[in-house]
Amino acid sequence: MALAVTSSTSIVFSSSNRTEQGVQFNSSNFQPSDRANRSPAVFNLSQKRSAAVKPLNAEPKRNDSIVPSAATIFAPDVVEKSVEVVDIEKLAKDLENSSPLAIMDKALEKYGNDIAIAFSGAEDVALIEYAHLTGRPFRVFSLDTGRLNPETYKFFDEVEKHYNIRIEYMFPDAVEVQALVRTKGLFSFYEDGHQECCRVRKVRPLRRALKGLRAWITGQRKDQSPGTRSEVPVVQVDPVFEGMDGGPGSLVKFNPVANVAGNDIWSFLRTMDVPVNSLHAQGYVSIGCEPCTRSVLPGQHEREGRWWWEDAKAKECGLHKGNLKEESVNGNGNGNGNGNSAADIFESQNVVNLSRTGIENLVKMEDRKDAWMVVLYAPWCPFCQAMEASYVELADKLAGSGVKVGKFRADGDQKSFAKQELQLGSFPTILFFPKHSSRPIKYASERRDVDSLMAFINALR
């Protein structure tokens, strides 16, 4: 955490008309004494920490290792009470059509100091605003991977000052990071997928954080990722992580904005005039680590800016791994492409459907009669589907021009071959085979409109 443990911890509560356990506190939040405060009443906790309040990264005591010291905001000693058993299915049904504010209020009411908001430094600042509007005390934590954009770190500071809170930062294990970098380098994820790096820098720190909670609050929305988040409920038993009680079902996950569209989130942020990450103004929508995040173009889906070199169907880092359907993911986090039930796309008399043999022969030719434009695709990929109309129109325009237009389905059993021989990175991948060159040229732009594709061909033929 960002603060150090001492034998005596002072907590400052602003005066208000609300009193519990003989202690007055501000209903919006509390703050450590090193922050600016007004007419504080100071309490010295020199003997022990409350048994009812645990630090965010609390773990069972272990004798065989040293757990790094960490601190969070502690409340005065209170009388420990029994934990309420919550019927999650009934709660989810009751809140299914509720507003984000109502869902947030219910979450904070039921779990108090045993719940925290996961803040990534992107548009989920809306969660903090909703929590602030409830008037209840709330906690916020974030995963500092060590590879965030400078703009994101500045944003963290702005949010702390705006809401007068302390964000509880979780960091990856230094030994694990060192081993990964020494063994595989700083950018191994470009070659073998992002899952391993995310597991070290994000998933394991998150697991430690959640061990100190009974519930957490995320900014997942159904419209964020077509392949993984379309069925996100507003409340669920976390399918992946464990809470402080341990074991399956010991952690509850609230997704207050699951049913809210991205445009509506931004309307809310503008209306409430809250701080936002300056990267958004540069075209970044979904923001993660600097090497794995880039801006998107108008018309592109927000998740196309994350891990863009991988398949579009499984854009998850592991924090919400429960969203991934087992049959659609392999060990590298990429779709396995066995979705044979998906209707084929790019159907046109001017688009040649290339078989494995056909594409192999095309690659081997050093002196072709015609130039070729070929798309490597998967019918289930939403980004392939989105460019279907423009690609078919391109094929119609190029008919009889000396440039043939083809398609090769590169998922499933053909995926390994396409990666090794055809420069497949993510779907769709577009290649141009010149007349007098054996090596195809990859179309690097994310612009897939007819004019952009035609300009690429004209520059090469």
Q: How far apart are CA 289 and CA 268, in angstroms?
A: 25
* Structure token pair of residue 12: 């400052």
Position 374, amino acid:
V
Q: How far apart are CA 294 and CA 282, in angstroms?
A: 10
- Residue 373: how many CB atoms within 10 A of its CB? 26
How many Cα atoms within 13 Å fall on the side-chain side of residue 139?
A: 26
Closest CA to 140 of 126, 92, 286, 152: 126
Position 22, amino acid:
G
Closest CA to 446 of 423, 433, 428: 428
Active site residue ranges: 381, 384
Closest CA to 359 of 400, 309, 416, 418: 418
Q: How far apart are CA 286 and CA 306, in angstroms?
A: 7
Q: How far apart are CA 33 and CA 256, in angstroms?
A: 31
Q: How far apart are CA 75 and CA 50, in angstroms?
A: 7
DSSP 217-283: E----TTS-TTTSTT--SEEE-SS---TT-STT--EEE-TTTT--HHHHHHHHHHHT----GGGGGT
Q: Are 405 and 394 in contact (CB under 8 A)?
A: yes
Closest CA to 192 of 313, 310, 325, 318: 310
